[in-house]
Homo-oligomer: A and B are copies of this chain.
Amino acid sequence: MQREVERIRKDIKRLRIQGARNVAKAAMAAMGVIARKSKAESREELVNEFLVAADELASARPTEPMLRNALRALFAHMRRSKGDVVELRKLVEKEELEYFRRMKRDEERIAEYGGRELSGSSVILTHCHSSSVVSILERANELSKGMEVICTETRPRFQGLITAKELSRAGLKVTLIVDSAVSHFMKDVDAVVVGADAITAKGDLINKIGTCGIAMIAHEHGVGMYSAAETFKFDPLTLWGGIERIEERSPEEITNPKKLKGVEVRNPAFDVTPARYLTAYITEMGVITPQSLLNVVMREGIEKLY
């Protein structure tokens, strides 16, 4: 059992599980595993097991508010319930299912709203891999045939190749380019859409390294810049001045550092795109400007987050 949770944690840490949503789902699945397989005999013992696991999962990746929001919501539910160890197991299993159901529903809404929003574009550029973005582009292509998508390869781990394959299989016309070719192709692009790892109180987007540069280039061409994101990716800590930590990953993802004696290899996984370079977030609540998101989330989503 512990092994299963540990395996999930490692898969998250080593990027075998990728994308904010998959990571959050995996963490919820890990909680479900504990609910089903723990040998705890008292509520206290069980809650403690959950807490230890949650802590380990949350620290596997520093830039993952969706993961932390999911766990935080789960513990809020636990606190409200006064049940014994058996009821607690059931509650967590139910919440795990509920979380998956809501994720699915949110995903469908994002695909639908984003598909409509982008159906007027004929060439769209995307960066890295995001299943929300893939769903949006497939839906947009249903609504308005003949859509072309330009995918960056997305160094250092080439996730753009996954996007290219999935979209090509879905029947879209796909072009693959190196990351630095974005400005060369931007003049033909009608809109850019990327995923999201986290959203701050200022409406800034934390996403795969390279996103901010693409947003600036889109801005210079007057091209719309969208991010597809569940409002669950909003990081409440940033409201109180908490700076989103940018994870730096191993230099070995980029090159063999031994061959570059004396050279420091830096590998930040994300960057921050200021709100003013973004047109809108495509969320399960609708297509919303970065400056509105805080208020929308505070009104409708505040309970979700704590």
A interface vs B, CB < 8 Å?
112-120, 127, 151-156, 158, 161, 164-165, 168-169, 173-185, 187, 190, 201-203, 209-210, 212-214, 216-217, 219-222, 238-243, 246, 254-255, 259-268, 271-272, 274-276, 279-280, 282, 285-292, 294-296, 298-299
Contacts beyond the supplied A155-B179, A177-B254, A289-B290: 14 A-B pairs with Cβ under 8 Å: A112-B240, A119-B243, A174-B263, A174-B264, A175-B264, A180-B213, A183-B213, A183-B271, A184-B272, A185-B266, A202-B280, A213-B217, A222-B222, A289-B291
User: Are the CB atoms of A179 and B179 closer together than 8 Å?
Assistant: yes
A246 to B183 Cα, complex, angstroms = 14
A178's partner among B174, B254, B296 (CB-CB below 8 A) is B254
**Chain B residues whose CB sits within 8 angstroms of the CB of A291 once the complex forms:** 289, 291-292
Measured in the bound complex, the distance between the Cα atoms of B183 and A272 in whole Å is 9
B175 touches A265 (CB 8 A): yes
Complex contact A112–B168 (CB within 8 A) = no
**Smallest distance from the beta carbon of A6 to chain B beta carbons, Å?**
30
Residue A176 contacts which of B182, B210, B260 (CB distance < 8 angstroms)? B260
**Contact between chains at B286 and A239 (CB < 8 Å):** yes
